[in-house]
Structure 1
Amino acid sequence: MIKAALPALPVIGSLPGIKHSRGDLPRTTLLRRGVTTDQRHLDRYRRVCGFAPSSFLPATYPHLAAHTLHLTMMTDTSFPFTPMGAVHLRNRITQHRPIGVAESYDISLRAAQLTPHPKGQLVELLSEARVGDELVWDESMTVFFRGRNGSGPEPTTPPLDRLDAPRGPVHWTLPGSLGRSYGAVSGDRNPIHLYPLTAKAFGFPRNIAHGMWTKAKCLSAIDALPNAYTATVEFKKPILLPSTIVFGTEEQPGRTVFGVRSQDGATEHLVGTIVAS
């Protein structure tokens, strides 16, 4: 079943008394047609994430259009989990070719897989962007939902084969307001990212950076990305705000490995790979 996505109200599905189904993932595919780019919004996104001006979209930018679909799906009562407290563990984006700023595209979302986890469930969400009939971009998000029906062993072979985040010379100093800045441009205003007080309600000592900001910031710092490539990341320990983090890259056969660590190098925050298509 395919249906158009209505504007989502992120909190509705989490209100007391709103019951989510306890069955399988919905089989619905959500679709947004004719997505266009507002140049002023794109400029704000580039400033927050560090991308240079270009006639093409950053590979992480269509994620913002997909985010509306994520909210629509996860706040619908047919979705078996509430979005509050969801943890984004992994993200894979494939840019099949650059999307021009002036191009319009259709973007779709479906829930692809439900996997048991000892502490809850893992859900894979798949998004695709098409210009006409041409697949130009796709994304896989693995999201952890804590709670009921947890079973099964811990995954033994992570997608990135237990890579270590490279140690590098680039330092980024992140302000306490970063979560609010990225939240304003991305639409992701999860309270764990906004203020220390709102983050403490979910068990964090301070507000934390968005994982997708961290991925975007890394890609913005890598020179000469291919026109077609896959960027896969695993999110490790959250980045508490404010803080200083260290970014590094390492060339390996067939791929570029990149990562983010704490200033002292002891804590990994993100590790990722770029593989040309």
Structure 2
Amino acid sequence: MTVHWLDLDSPPPLPALYAHAATKRKITGNTLPEQGLRCWVDVEAKSLAAFRDVCGLAPSPLLPPTYPHVLAFGLQMQLLTDKDFPFPLLGLIHLSNRIRVLRPLGGVTQLRIGVFVHNLQKHPKGATFEVVTQADDLLGPLWEAESRLLCKGVEVPGEVPGEVPQTATPAPMALSELTRWYAPAGIGRQYAKVSGDYNPIHLSAASAKLFGLPSAIAHGLWLKARALAALTTHLPVANVEINVAFKKPVRLPNEVILLSSDAGASGDFQLNGQGDLVHMVGQWRPVS
């Protein structure tokens, strides 16, 4: 895919974008725009410290692996609320997220963030696509990520992609409990303040019920950030790809249990609830 970049002078303001998101409730097409958005974004110490606090991250000279998503959120919102984007933002379901840390995220004060969408595919419940986010410094590519989202009810041509053969997937490593933590009822509002992501399904039971949920659910990227905080000493600081698939949502408030393999260049982890409930499965591997 060839991305046609639009370079912005500054990150877009979020309040107007939320107004656009609230008014767009219908599917208007089944093709994705080819235009991407780019902008230089400053890393602000106060905002970064607040993010670390909410996600249980200790002070460090390195940016947290999930933090560039926060820097990119305004650009992502503008892209997904633009008139040329065919799906309503509210109601999209976050299925998975993959992050690649290409070089150590140290000494970063400004990044050029780029976002675009691609890879529209048929799904049994509608269609999926990926939001691609890239972060460059003055030396070049530093970090990149893809978030796979589902829009229910979309009709796209083609067949549902088949499953990857089991022989192509390495056997999971042995996992043991690393830690557990309590996700309070207000964690969605706390994470929204540091990320800008005020999706109603995360904020309160009352706002979540408007979208058919019995209670608020935790942000997927907060779960990933909180898990990676506990896995800091397990993972390399660069040349690492960190994948997660979101399974059952974490209904708030709730206790979750993080399982992990041993520290090393590769590993697996999993976030469980009580009983056999699995909320998130993940792995880290060297960038291929």
Normalising to structure 1: TM-score of the pair?
A: 0.91
- Distance apart, 1:21 and its partner CA: 4.1
Q: Find out whether 1:205 has 2:208 as its counterpart.
A: no
- SS of residue matched to 2:64: coil
Which one-letter code corresponds to 2:261 in the other structure? E
CA distance 1:161–1:191, change in 2 (3 Å): farther
Counterpart for residue 240 of structure 1: 251
CA distance 1:6–1:239, change in 2 (3 Å): same
Counterpart for residue 235 of structure 2: 225
Q: Find out whether 1:108 has 2:117 as its counterpart.
A: no
Which one-letter code corresponds to 2:213 in the other structure? F
- Distance apart, 1:276 and its partner CA: 2.9
- Map Cα deviations across residues 246-266 of structure 1 (whole Å, 9 max, x no partner): 0010149962101100033x1
- SS of residue matched to 1:215: helix
Aligned pairs (5 A) from 1:1-277: 1-3=4-6, 4=8, 6-8=12-14, 9-15=17-23, 21-33=28-40, 35-149=41-155, 152-153=159-160, 155-157=162-164, 166-222=175-231, 223-228=233-238, 229-251=240-262, 255-264=266-275, 266-277=276-287
- Map Cα deviations across residues 19-50 of structure 1 (whole Å, 9 max, x no partner): 764142111010011x2211111111101111
In the aligned structure 2, how far is the partner of 1:160 from the partner of 1:181?
A: 37
> Which blocks of at least 5 consecutive residues in structure 2 are unaligned?
none
Is the CA contact 1:231–1:274 (under 8 Å) kept in the aligned structure 2? yes
- Map Cα deviations across residues 187-210 of structure 1 (whole Å, 9 max, x no partner): 001000000011111121110000
Which one-letter code corresponds to 1:171 in the other structure? R
Is the CA contact 2:130–2:147 (under 8 Å) kept in the aligned structure 1? yes
- SS of residue matched to 1:78: coil
- Distance apart, 1:7 and its partner CA: 2.8
- SS of residue matched to 2:53: helix
In the aligned structure 2, how far is the partner of 1:250 from the partner of 1:193?
A: 30
- SS of residue matched to 1:94: strand
Is the CA contact 1:91–1:142 (under 8 Å) kept in the aligned structure 2? yes
CA distance 1:253–1:100, change in 2 (3 Å): closer
In the aligned structure 1, how far is the partner of 2:263 from the partner of 2:108?
A: 35
CA distance 1:153–1:64, change in 2 (3 Å): same
Normalising to structure 2: TM-score of the pair?
A: 0.87
- SS of residue matched to 2:113: strand
In the aligned structure 1, how far is the partner of 2:263 from the partner of 2:44?
A: 37
Which one-letter code corresponds to 1:153 in the other structure? V
- Distance apart, 1:145 and its partner CA: 0.6
Is the CA contact 1:91–1:234 (under 8 Å) kept in the aligned structure 2? yes
Which one-letter code corresponds to 1:11 in the other structure? A
Is the CA contact 1:160–1:272 (under 8 Å) kept in the aligned structure 2? no
- Distance apart, 1:99 and its partner CA: 2.2
Which one-letter code corresponds to 1:12 in the other structure? H
- SS of residue matched to 1:82: coil
Which one-letter code corresponds to 1:270 in the other structure? M
- Distance apart, 1:213 and its partner CA: 0.4
CA distance 1:161–1:12, change in 2 (3 Å): farther
Q: Which runs of 4+ in 1 moved over 6 A?
A: 158-162
Which one-letter code corresponds to 1:168 in the other structure? E
- SS of residue matched to 1:247: strand
CA distance 1:250–1:164, change in 2 (3 Å): closer
- Distance apart, 1:224 and its partner CA: 4.4
Is the CA contact 1:164–1:271 (under 8 Å) kept in the aligned structure 2? no
- Distance apart, 1:108 and its partner CA: 0.2
